[in-house]
Every structure is written in C-alpha cells, then in structure tokens.
C-alpha cells in the first residue's frame, strides 16, 4: 500500500505558531529546525547544557538559549535533537520532570522510542518529524523557499491532535513544501539504521576503501586509485540521484555498463545479501541498539579506535592532497543562516 503524503494544503501552520517550542540541541538538525521555525513565526527557545559549544552559535543567530530543563519547562512542544546516545539521559534528567500532561515530545529519529530507551508518560503526544536530508540542506532549502521531504510518525496521540501538530511542525521547517510521508517509529528507525549501516555509510565506505586497496596493492598509483574509487563515485551517484540507476547506465559508456551487469553482482553476491539480512535482524532484535548504548556507556573504546583507524587509512592522505588541487571540492560545510 503506498504511503500517505501530505503537502502545504494539508497542514495548518497556525497550530505550531500557537505553541511554545523547545529545540534541545543545536547541531546539524537542531539549527535548521530552530531557525526555520523562528522564521515561520514560531516561538522557539533552545535547550543546551552549560558549557555546550553550540550555545554561542545559537545566541549569535538571535535565538534565546536556556538549559534543557528550563527550555522543557517553558515549552509545550519539546523537540529532542541531541545525539541519539545522549537522548535517554537528557530525557530522564531534564525533560521528564517537565513533561506535563498535554505536552508534545518530538524526535528527529526514532531510535530511543523504538528500543525503549525513552518511555514517555501516556498523557503526552509523541511524534517524529524527520527530514530526509542533512540539517544544512534542510535550512538551505527553507531559505530558498523550498523544502526537504520529511517523514512524520505518531507513537502516542494523547490529545487527539498529534498528527495535525506534527504536520504543522513539518510545515514550519519547509517539509510540506516538498512532501511529508507518513511512517511509524518502527519503520523509520529500522530502515534508517539499515540504510546507513549496509548501504550509505558502512557499505559505501567499505566498498570504496576495498577498491582503493586492491588497486594500490596491485601497484597502481594511489592518486589514480582515489579518482577511480572515491572521487568519481559522486558523479555516478549524482546520475542515480537525478534519474535512478537506469539514468546512470544510460550516461556511462557501453563498456562500463557491460562491466556493471557482469561484474557488479560478483562483488555484491549472495553472501553479501545474506550478511545484509543478518545486519537487518540485529537491528530488528535490538542487538545493535544494545551494543551502541553499551559502547557509549563504556566511554566508546571501540568507537574511538575505529575512528582513528578510519582517519589513518591511506585513502585519506591521498584524498587530502588531491582535494587541495580542486578548489571547488574541499570546502567546509557553511552555515546558511
Ligand atoms: N545529521 C542529520 O542529518 C540527521 C540527523 N537526524 C537525527 O537528528 C538528531 C540530532 O542529530 P544531529 O543534528 O546529527 O546531531 P549533532 O551531533 O549535529 O548535534 C547535536 C547537538 O546536541 C547538542 N547536545 C549534546 N549534548 C546535549 C545535551 N545533553 N543536551 C542538549 N543538547 C546536547 C550538541 O551540542 P555541543 O555543540 O555542545 O556538542 C549539538 O548542538 C538525532 O536523533 C539524529 O539521528 C535525523 C535525520 C538526519
Ligand atoms: C545516512 C545517515 C543518517 O541516517 C542521515 C543523515 O539520514 C544519520 O543518522 O546521520
Ligand atoms: Mg537517515
Ligand atoms: Mg540515521
């Protein structure tokens, strides 16, 4: 059954304009939501701990910054946009004591609700508004009068008004300009984790690094290997993004297209598909979430090691040198506010 999709005409912005919104966190998503809601006429305050690096940025951009507990007490819509691993303690220590009946608790990703790390009381609305793009793009599109498609989900509808409120929030960040798709916390969380682990982040990074290693270990120049396995990936993905895999295959040479059909399935073979299914099972059973939280509780010993190993992979040094020759590529993410 196709998903329900909502646009501007389905949303009543005044519902969120009439509420006090707290955005907890001011990173990639937090800054985009807060600034766009403010520009949509919503009464927004930011909740950040004392000593947070993000405090100065939010204040410079004209927003009122309070502690997470103060912001949660003032607001009747509380959007949690702190890192997923921080959310359960942020909720327990600062949000829960201020979450009175009739308020609404919002998320940008469903992990903490789906895996029972946060259990809100039954008398509050629990909603998700999750843009399908990084926060900086969400903000840039809003400023340009456009929007990034969003997902909405309702876990609890205590007031009978949760979906209308979530749609109003999505409208406030530009989502209904592009289209808002209805999902559930379960579907969003499980598919988001699977996508980032097996395909977008984990799968793609391992594919690129392994291709680079095969070429350099065979004696080819790292610069050439970098161009072939990483740099040109963007050009290929851009074609897929614009018109699907078919558009990409239409644009590349017949030689590349024939190699794609005959060699690709040898790389991503039945064994890889079985491994992807195991990864999905670990997500669905909660095994991945338990591992992530245990790793965080232990001070991230493995996470830190993996980060260092990734940063020291030879492809990074080669890339740094090559990108310095391409003035248009190596630029920092700029704030669009
Ligand atoms: N990044 C993305 O594009 C997407 C993210 N999401 C979801 O959005 C949520 C936020 O992710 P993202 O924007 O990437 O996060 P970031 O890591 O970019 O930003 C986190 C923000 O939370 C602040 N913070 C840290 N600890 C606390 C705390 N205890 N209380 C309040 N604020 C705190 C950080 O402040 P400081 O500067 O001090 O560290 C920072 O401002 C997550 O649930 C994520 O899954 C969903 C879709 C896409
Ligand atoms: C793909 C990574 C992501 O799921 C996202 C930007 O959508 C994330 O968790 O950052
Ligand atoms: Mg995602
Ligand atoms: Mg994600």
Shared domain for 177 and 197, answered yes or no, is no
334 within some domain: no
156 within some domain: yes
Shared domain for 207 and 155, answered yes or no, is no
Rounded to whole angstroms, how far apart are CA atoms 2 and 240?
22
Residue 84 beta carbon below 6 angstroms from any ligand 1 atom: yes
Q: Per-residue pLDDT averaged across 268-294, rounded?
A: 98
* Catalytic pick among 33, 109, 231, 313: 109
Nearest CA to 107 among 23, 19, 36, 38?
23
CATH of the domain at 142: 3.40.50.720
Shared domain for 216 and 86, answered yes or no, is no
Per the structure, how many domains does the chain have? 2
Residue 337 confidence (pLDDT): 33
Helical packing angle, 301-311 and 287-297, nearest 10°: 90
Tens digit of pLDDT for each residue in 13-65? 999 999 999 999 999 999 999 999 999 999 999 999 999 999 999 999 999 99
Nearest CA to 45 among 27, 70, 28?
70
Q: Which atom of ligand 2 is nearest to the CA of 200?
A: 1
> Which of 29, 96, 200, 201 has most ligand 1 atoms within 8 Å of CB, for mutation?
29
Tens digit of pLDDT for each residue in 140-175? 999 999 999 999 999 999 999 999 999 999 999 999
Tens digit of pLDDT for each residue in 80-106? 999 999 999 999 999 999 999 999 999
Nearest CA to ligand 2 atom 2: 196
Residue 327 confidence (pLDDT): 83
324 is in an annotated binding site: no
- Whole-angstrom distance between the N-terminal and C-terminal Cα of the chain? 39
Q: Which of the four pLDDT bands, split at 50, 70 and 90, describes residue 336?
A: very low
Tens digit of pLDDT for each residue in 203-262? 999 999 999 999 999 999 999 999 999 999 999 999 999 999 999 999 999 999 999 999
CATH of the domain at 275: 1.10.1040.10
DSSP string, 165-178: HHHHHHHHTTHHHH
Shared domain for 175 and 284, answered yes or no, is no
At which of 155, 183, 211 does a domain end? Answer: 183
Shared domain for 114 and 11, answered yes or no, is yes
Rounded to whole angstroms, how far apart are CA atoms 276 and 279?
5
At which of 148, 183, 218 does a domain end? Answer: 183
Shared domain for 50 and 152, answered yes or no, is yes
Residue 329 confidence (pLDDT): 78
Residue 188 beta carbon below 6 angstroms from any ligand 2 atom: no
Residue 130 beta carbon below 6 angstroms from any ligand 1 atom: yes
Where do we find the tokens 């004392």? 50
Rounded to whole angstroms, how far apart are CA atoms 175 and 154?
16
Q: What's the whole-number average pLDDT of the chain?
A: 96
332 within some domain: no
335 within some domain: no
333 within some domain: no
> Domain limits at 293?
193-323
Residue 1 confidence (pLDDT): 74
47 within some domain: yes
Residue 155 beta carbon below 6 angstroms from any ligand 2 atom: no
Residue 146's contacts (CB-CB under 8 Å, 6 or more residues apart) are: 174, 177, 178
Specify whether 33 is catalytic. Answer: no
Shared domain for 203 and 130, answered yes or no, is no
Shared domain for 176 and 214, answered yes or no, is no
| Residues 24/74, Cβ–Cβ less than 8 Å | no
At which of 113, 148, 183 does a domain end? Answer: 183
Rounded to whole angstroms, how far apart are CA atoms 38 and 143?
12
329 within some domain: no
> Which of 190, 193, 200 has most ligand 2 atoms within 8 Å of CB, for mutation?
200
Tens digit of pLDDT for each residue in 99-125? 999 999 999 999 999 999 999 999 999
Shared domain for 164 and 267, answered yes or no, is no
Alpha helices in the chain (DSSP H): 14-17, 28-39, 54-60, 68-74, 87-90, 111-114, 135-143, 162-172, 175-178, 185-194, 202-217, 222-226, 232-251, 254-267, 270-285, 287-297, 301-311, 314-323
199 within some domain: yes
Shared domain for 35 and 173, answered yes or no, is yes
């Amino acid at each position: 059954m196709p998903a329900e999709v909502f646009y501007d005409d389905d949303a009543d912005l005044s519902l969120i304009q009439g509420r006090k919104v707290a955005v907890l966190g001011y990173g990639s998503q937090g800054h985009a939501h807060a600034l766009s809601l403010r520009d949509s006429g919503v009464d927004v305050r930011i909740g950040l701990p004392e000593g947070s690096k993000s405090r100065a940025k939010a204040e410079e951009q004209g927003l009122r910054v309070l502690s997470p507990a103060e912001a949660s007490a003032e607001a009747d819509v509380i959007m949690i946009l702190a890192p997923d691993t921080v959310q359960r303690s942020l909720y327990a220590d600062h949000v829960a004591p201020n979450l009175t009946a009739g308020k609404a608790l919002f998320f940008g990703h469903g992990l903490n609700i789906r895996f029972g790390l946060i259990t809100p009381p039954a008398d509050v609305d629990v909603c998700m508004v999750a843009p399908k793009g990084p926060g900086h793009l969400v903000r840039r599109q809003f400023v340009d009068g456009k929007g990034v498609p969003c997902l909405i989900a309702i876990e609890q509808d205590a007031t009978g008004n949760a979906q209308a409120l979530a749609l109003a929030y999505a409208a406030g960040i530009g989502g209904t300009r592009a289209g808002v798709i209805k999902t559930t916390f379960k579907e969003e969380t499980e598919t988001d984790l699977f996508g980032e682990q097996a395909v977008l982040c984990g799968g793609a990074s391992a594919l690129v690094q392994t291709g680079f290693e095969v070429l350099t270990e065979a004696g080819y120049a790292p610069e050439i290997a970098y161009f072939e396995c990483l740099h040109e990936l963007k050009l290929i993905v851009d074609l897929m993004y614009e018109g699907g895999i078919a558009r990409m295959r239409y644009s590349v040479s017949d030689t590349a297209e024939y190699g794609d059909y005959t060699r690709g399935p040898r790389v991503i073979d039945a064994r890889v598909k079985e491994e992807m299914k195991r990864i999905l099972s670990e997500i669905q059973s909660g095994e991945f979430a338990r591992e992530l939280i245990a790793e965080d509780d232990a001070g991230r010993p493995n996470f830190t090691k993996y980060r260092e190993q990734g940063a020291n992979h030879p492809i990074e040094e080669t890339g740094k040198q090559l990108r310095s020759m391409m003035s248009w590529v190596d630029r920092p993410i700029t704030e669009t506010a």
